[in-house]
């Protein structure tokens, strides 16, 4: 009877060890961030996904001219350029304001919706028309 009790108490320990190992592997799985430049009308340009290095965070930097949104930069923080949250930072030469937010869960930095072809076509047609008008 003692042999069975000793053997049966080892089974839960093995199951617990296996469960904890699986949980550790799941928690330490690759965390990915969205990576792109988001601009008005076109949406996310050069859309990619990057793998976050341990100890770093995904980041989103929104750039404004006054209160008008100009563009956003979504990317992974790196050892060379780690994410540092900042609000209302100003570049006085250009008159631009920057807001940077950081996050550390999978795909947590907001992804811009894909640009609709109709809006992109209207934008490019308008830009072409403006260019032709300026040439005359």
Question: Could you report the per-residue pLDDT of 47-73, keeping only the tens digit for each?
Answer: 889 999 999 999 999 999 998 999 999
Output the pLDDT for position 17: 55
pLDDT value at position 128? 80
Residues in the chain: 136
At residue 81, the pLDDT reads: 92
Average pLDDT, the chain: 78
Structure tokens at 5: 């009790």
Name the pTM for this structure. Answer: 0.60
Q: pLDDT by residue (tens digit) across 10-40?
A: 566 665 555 545 444 444 468 999 999 999 8
pLDDT cut 70: percent of the chain above it: 67
What's the CA gap between 135 and 50, in Å, rounded?
A: 42
Torsion, CA 97, CA 102, CA 107, CA 112, rounded to 10 = -10
**Residue 118 above 70 pLDDT?**
no
**3-class SS letters over 5-27:** HHHHHHHHHHHHHHHHHHHHHHH
pLDDT band at 111 (very low <50, low <70, confident <90, very high): low
Contact 102, 59 (CB under 8 A): yes
- Distance CA(18)–CA(23), nearest Å, equals 9
35 forms bridges with which residues in the sheet?
A: 48
């Amino acid at each position: 009877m003692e042999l069975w009790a000793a053997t049966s108490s080892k089974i839960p320990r093995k199951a617990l060890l296996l469960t904890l190992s699986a949980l550790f592997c799941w928690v330490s799985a690759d965390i990915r961030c969205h990576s792109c430049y988001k601009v008005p009308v076109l949406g996310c340009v050069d859309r990619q996904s990057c793998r976050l290095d341990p100890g770093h965070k995904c980041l989103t930097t929104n750039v404004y001219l006054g209160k008008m949104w100009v563009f956003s930069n979504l990317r992974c923080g790196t050892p060379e350029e780690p994410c540092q949250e900042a609000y209302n930072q100003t570049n006085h030469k250009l008159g631009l304001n920057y807001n940077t937010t950081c996050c550390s869960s999978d795909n947590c930095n907001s992804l811009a919706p894909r640009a609709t072809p109709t809006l992109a076509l209207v934008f490019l047609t308008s830009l072409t028309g403006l260019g032709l008008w300026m040439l005359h």
